Structure 1
Amino acid sequence: MSINLYIVRHGETYFNFLHRFQGWSDAPLTERGIQHGLDAGLRLANLHFDGAYSSDLTRAVHTARYILQNNTVDSPLEPTQLPDFREQFFGSFEGIDSEVVSTTLNAFKSEPFESYSELIKNYGMPDAMDTLHLADPFSFAETDDKWTQRVQHGFADIRDRHNDGDNVLIVSHGTTIRGIAEKLGHHDFASTPVTNGAVMQIELTPDSTTLTNFNDNTTIF
């Protein structure tokens, strides 16, 4: 059995534009972000989706609706919301300027870095998540273990819902998409920021999860 996942990063939000950590906080899509969703929908327009999902955060739900709006082959019109595919929770750093967060996190590492992306590149996604949790004075930020447990539960849920050959749309978030790539053995992919509206393809079987395409915002599927 093989389920074909098309995991799309949501469109640009005002927090993205302002370079603020977003996580479980929410900000509306910018005009450009709406276009990211519509453009992704055009690239995916000829794929019939047997299931369409998004995280339960507004930016993902709205992006999924824009994608499905452009679908031409009788796919669902409304995404089912799955909280398991939320962004990493940044705890006390939610809504904070990214440069301020990076300055704070540098105090916990021996080698300096300029951004959260560079922290991921230098130390790996699990270490970056755990460093954020360590730096959070209230310990709200999600650890790698907690993040992994919920995303694994999300994949198990998709396996239970779908059959061999199904195409499945999931609209998720940049750090979660990078974290999935890292867990699947692609640190090189995880080190790269995900473009708004870009597609990651995964082949899901009962016993394996295989990444076949990453950060693709050009292919017409």
Structure 2
Amino acid sequence: MKKTLYLMRHDQTLFNVQHKMQGWCDSPLTKIGIQQALCAKKYFQDQSIVFDAAYCSTAERASDTLELVTDMPYTRLKGLKELSFGKFEGEPEYLRPQPIPKLHLADYYVQFGGEDDFVAQKRVNDTLTDIMNQDNDNVLAVSHAGAIIMFTDLWDDSDKLQRAGFTNCSILEFSFEDDQFTFESLINLEYKTR
């Protein structure tokens, strides 16, 4: 039976505005971030989308986003966390090495106490697969840019997300059947908050 996953990137945070890396570290939502979440809530209401279950990473920016989008009970899961950047956490984004196109940075951050890209990718994929194999037809999960891009790389071309304007509060719709995810659409609500 075909199911639907709405995989949402958390809303704008202070570190997003300051262009700082935030993997396992955290920063609060901004006023714009709060407006983005309320815009997402309205989108789901306007589309009559009702969730059977809701999940988010253990980061407060993800749970704060989820709590603004829906008032239903939810589960926080470590498997939905962002990649750990180790000693780069909270540092300016310009320090991030540029990956070779279409390749991950692999184990670059491990030497700085961070996480291997492919380990993080497997963690996120396993978590979302487990979620979708439960007795739920429509699921909302709030996660992070890197985690979502790495997950999408397994099932589709994540470069098209970047070209389409994958921003804070973007929602990716995936169908799920027979342990396979299929990317259906990118719902980008950022511009409606201005």
Same fold (TM over 0.5): yes
Paired residues for 1:65-214 under 5 Å:
65-69=67-71, 77-99=72-94, 101-102=95-96, 105=97, 116=98, 119=99, 122-124=100-102, 127-130=103-106, 132-133=108-109, 137-138=111-112, 140-163=113-136, 166-192=137-163, 194-214=166-186
State the Cα distance separating 1:188 from its structure 2 match.
Answer: 2.2
**Distance in 1 of aligned mates of 2:92 and 2:69:** 29
- 3-state secondary structure, aligned to 2:105: helix
Deviation per CA, 1:38-89, whole angstroms, max 9, x where unpaired? Answer: 11111012211000111111000010010004xxxxxxx2321121111111
**Distance in 1 of aligned mates of 2:44 and 2:57:** 19
Deviation per CA, 1:138-185, whole angstroms, max 9, x where unpaired? Answer: 3x221122112211221232133224xx11101111111111221113
**Distance in 1 of aligned mates of 2:142 and 2:158:** 21
Cα contact 1:178–1:194 (8 A) shared by 2 = no
Cα contact 1:26–1:57 (8 A) shared by 2 = yes
Q: Counterpart of 1:159 in structure 2: which amino acid?
A: M
Aligned twin of 2:55: 53
**Distance in 2 of aligned mates of 1:87 and 1:215:** 21
**Distance in 2 of aligned mates of 1:27 and 1:59:** 7
**Distance in 2 of aligned mates of 1:190 and 1:183:** 13
Stretches of structure 2 that go unaligned for 5 or more consecutive residues are: none
Aligned twin of 2:11: 11
**Structure whose alpha-carbon radius of gyration is higher:** 1
**Distance in 2 of aligned mates of 1:196 and 1:84:** 20
Cα contact 1:2–1:204 (8 A) shared by 2 = yes
Aligned twin of 1:36: 36
State the Cα distance separating 1:12 from its structure 2 match.
Answer: 0.6
Cα contact 1:56–1:86 (8 A) shared by 2 = yes
Cα gap change, 1:194 to 1:132, in 2 (>3 Å): farther
Q: Counterpart of 1:85 in structure 2: which amino acid?
A: L
**Distance in 1 of aligned mates of 2:3 and 2:61:** 25
State the Cα distance separating 1:209 from its structure 2 match.
Answer: 1.0
RMSD of aligned alpha carbons: 2.2
**Distance in 2 of aligned mates of 1:172 and 1:47:** 19
**Distance in 2 of aligned mates of 1:137 and 1:145:** 15
Deviation per CA, 1:189-211, whole angstroms, max 9, x where unpaired? Answer: 25456211111001111231111
**Distance in 2 of aligned mates of 1:216 and 1:162:** 28
**Distance in 2 of aligned mates of 1:91 and 1:179:** 18
| Number of residues of Structure 1 aligned to a counterpart in Structure 2 | 189
